[in-house]
Amino acid sequence: MDWSALPSTSWVCVEMKAVPWNPADMNSVQGTYAILSQSHFSPKRTVAGSSGIGVVSEMTASKDNRFAVGDWVTVAQPGLGTMRSSVWAPASSWIKISRGSELFEKHGDGISTIFQLGGTALRMLRDFQVLRPGDCVIQNAGNSGVGWMASQLAAAHDVSMVSLVRRGTRSAEKEDLCDQASLQDFRRELQLVSHRPRVLALNAVGGDSAGKLVKLLDRHGTLVTYGGMSMKPLSISAGHLIFQDIKVVGYWNSRWMLQHSLSQQQAMTDELVDL
């Protein structure tokens, strides 16, 4: 390490323990994502990976360093390039995971996904509509990482989740938490919660699937898009925008991270750990 090249800010080296491979990482490698993996701090090479968890192994001296060697951390910086054994980056690129060791032992590699995917699910459930106990949220991509996190978060707040999935199979574990249905069953499942307000829909597919969600929203509802896995544009009826006052918006976790302070990111990470 060429220490003289480091700026005066405190830097932290993290030994990566688990790095998830998300659709966004795939798109980034394909060159179709909005930002490329930038490896901000190693400009001569590009490294994939935008999230993950690890353990602090080394750091530069600083009075205000929030970290100690051995701390578990996750990523606070989009496009950090986490797919390497260790990552040197400014302290501001990291968020501490309280009880990280315990979580990793209990849940294994999978725990690395909850900070980005869980954060996406949490923000979408919280930032676009006020959800009250008894409300119903509908989504496609119910078996995706975010969809699955959203189902769990909804269940924890007494909000019903009905998920449109490609294949109607479901595990007993998931059945307890949410209703999942392939297209032909989706409306029937919705009938079961027809007395509940449907104010929010989460879309990661696009195309007609997004249009179907819009048609099933109540008046003044919101469709939040966080992915476009079908690679097709959303097909939205003008009538639903005009007469039902439906709003169609997007959520991008990287923007949320860039627009929010480290303490806000830390608070959300703590909340996800506690769930």
Where do the DSSP E strands lie in 27-159? Answer: 53-59, 72-75, 86-90, 94-96, 136-140
Q: With binding defined as CB under 8 A, does residue 275 bind a copy of itself? A: no
Q: How far is the CB of 219 from a copy of itself (least distance, A)?
A: 10
CA distances from 269 to 12, 122, 223, 257 (A): 19, 11, 25, 12
Q: How far is the CB of 214 from a copy of itself (least distance, A)?
A: 9
CA distances from 84 to 47, 61, 116 (A): 8, 24, 18
Q: With binding defined as CB under 8 A, does residue 264 bind a copy of itself? A: no
Q: With binding defined as CB under 8 A, does residue 258 bind a copy of itself? A: no
Each residue 19-58 as x (binds a copy of itself by CB under 8 A) or -, in order, gives ---------------x------------------------
The catalytic residue among 33, 41, 67, 252 is: 33
33 as an active site residue: the answer is yes
- What are the residues whose beta carbons fall under 8 Å from the beta carbon of 77, sequence distance 6 or more? 40, 89, 92, 93, 257
Cβ–Cβ under 8 Å, residues 156 and 177:
no
Q: What is the rounded CA–CA span in Å between residue 13 and residue 93?
A: 11
Size of the site for a copy of itself (CB under 8 A): 30
CA-based nearest residue to 122, from 93, 79, 151: 151
Q: With binding defined as CB under 8 A, does residue 107 bind a copy of itself? A: no
Q: Which of 235, 261, 264, 271 binds a copy of itself (CB under 8 A)?
A: 235
Interface region with a copy of itself, contact rule CB under 8 A, candidates 83-91, 102-110, 192-200, 242-250: 242-250
CB nearer a copy of itself, residue 21 or residue 252: 252
Q: How far is the CB of 65 from a copy of itself (least distance, A)?
A: 33
In single-letter form, the type of residue at position 171 comes to: S
Tokens standing for residue 12: 């932290």
Q: With binding defined as CB under 8 A, does residue 241 bind a copy of itself? A: yes
CB nearer a copy of itself, residue 54 or residue 145: 145
Q: With binding defined as CB under 8 A, does residue 211 bind a copy of itself? A: yes
CA-based nearest residue to 146, from 171, 124, 117, 173: 117
Q: What is the rounded CA–CA span in Å between residue 89 and residue 47?
A: 13
Q: What is the rounded CA–CA span in Å between residue 245 and residue 33?
A: 31
Q: How far is the CB of 201 from a copy of itself (least distance, A)?
A: 13
Q: What is the rounded CA–CA span in Å between residue 112 and residue 52?
A: 5
Q: Which of 243, 258, 267, 271 binds a copy of itself (CB under 8 A)?
A: 243
Where in 171-210 is the site for a copy of itself (CB under 8 A)? 203, 206, 210
Q: How far is the CB of 123 from a copy of itself (least distance, A)?
A: 13
Q: How far is the CB of 109 from a copy of itself (least distance, A)?
A: 27
Q: What is the rounded CA–CA span in Å between residue 151 and residue 165?
A: 13
List contacts with a copy of itself (CB under 8 A). Answer: 34, 203, 206, 210-211, 225-228, 233-252, 255
- Residues tagged active-site: 33
